[in-house]
Amino acid sequence: MCTVTYFLLKDKIVLTSNRDEKPNRSAQKIYTENNIFYPKDATKNGTWFAVSKNRNAIVLLNGAFENHQKIADYQRSRGLIVLDLIVEENIFKSVHSIDLDNIEPFTLIILQEQNLAEFRWDGTQKHFEILDASLPYIWSSATLYDAKAQEKRKTIFQKFLENETVSEESIWNFHHKKTDDLENGITMKRQNTIQTISTTQLLISDEMTLRHHNRLDKFSKPEKFFLNNEIHTPSL
C-alpha cells in the first residue's frame, strides 16, 4: 500500500489514501480510541491512516525509496508505529527519537498543525523533510511501484491537475480512477490478489471529516465520520 494525495484548497485541506493490499487486510469501519480516529488493519491491528482530534494526521506507505529485501521476523507492524506517533504532541520531533530498530521500511506523510512533512525509514536511516504545504502531492508505495511506474502515476496526476477543477469530490473520483494499466493504475488489481481495497479521505476546514469506502463490497456506500462521533452513510 498505498496511493496518497495531498491538496490545500481554498478553504480546506484534503488528504486521501487508496489502500492497495490483500483483501484479507481490509478494514470495515472507522475506530475511535482516545480521541484518535482510524481504520484498523484486519490482521495486525495497526492502521495506515490515523487522525487525532487536535487535527494532526499520519498516512503510511510501505517502503521508503525503493523495494527492499524482506526479513523473516520484524519487531512490530508499521501500522502500530502510526498509532504510537499520532498520540504525540509533537510528531515532527517524535519521529527523530522513536526506536525503529528491526522495523520494516516505510514512509509517513505527516500533517501537524497544518504543516506538512515526509518521513522515510529505509531500515537503517531516518529521512525527514518539511514540505511546502501549499502545493499538491502524490505518493506511491515503493514496495508496489518501481521508479517507472511512479513516474507514470505522477503523469496521470499532473494531467488531473491540468484538466480538472480540483475539489474534494474530483479528488475522491481521481482515487477511484481506472486506467488501461490495471496493475499500476490509481485503482489497481494484480494477479497475486493485491488490489485497491479501500479509499479514505480526510477533510480539514472549520470542521474535520473522515470518509471511508470499503471497495471490496460493490454494494457498500462511503461512510462519513465526524468528530461528534456520529456516522453517516449517505444515500445514493
> What would the pLDDT profile of 183-201 be if each residue is shown by its tens digit?
888 999 988 778 889 999 9
Q: Which candidate, 26, 21, 123, places its Cα nearest to that of 74?
A: 123
**Contact at 8 Å (CB) between 110 and 57?**
yes
Nearest alpha-carbon partner for 121 in 141, 100, 135: 100
CB-based contacts of 208: which residues, under 8 Å, 6+ apart? 51, 55, 202, 226, 227
Phi then psi dihedrals of residue 8, to 5 deg: -105, 105
| Ordered DSSP codes for 17-75 | EEEEE-GGG---SEEEETTEEEEPPTTTS--SEEEETTS-EEEEEE-SSS-----S--S
Find cell 487522525 and name the residue.
51
Report the SS3 class of residue 94.
Answer: helix
Backbone angles phi, psi at 219, to 5 degrees: -95, -5
Q: What is the DSSP letter of 76?
A: S
In this predicted structure, what is the pLDDT of residue 180? 81
For every residue of 172-195, DSSP letters joined together read HHHHT---S-TTTSSS-B-TTS-E
Task: Give every residue of the chain whose pLDDT is below 50, as ranges.
Answer: 229-236
Ordered by start, the domain boundaries in the chain are 3-232
pTM of the model: 0.91
Q: Identify the CATH homologous superfamily for domain 3-232.
A: Penicillin V Acylase; Chain A (3.60.60.10)
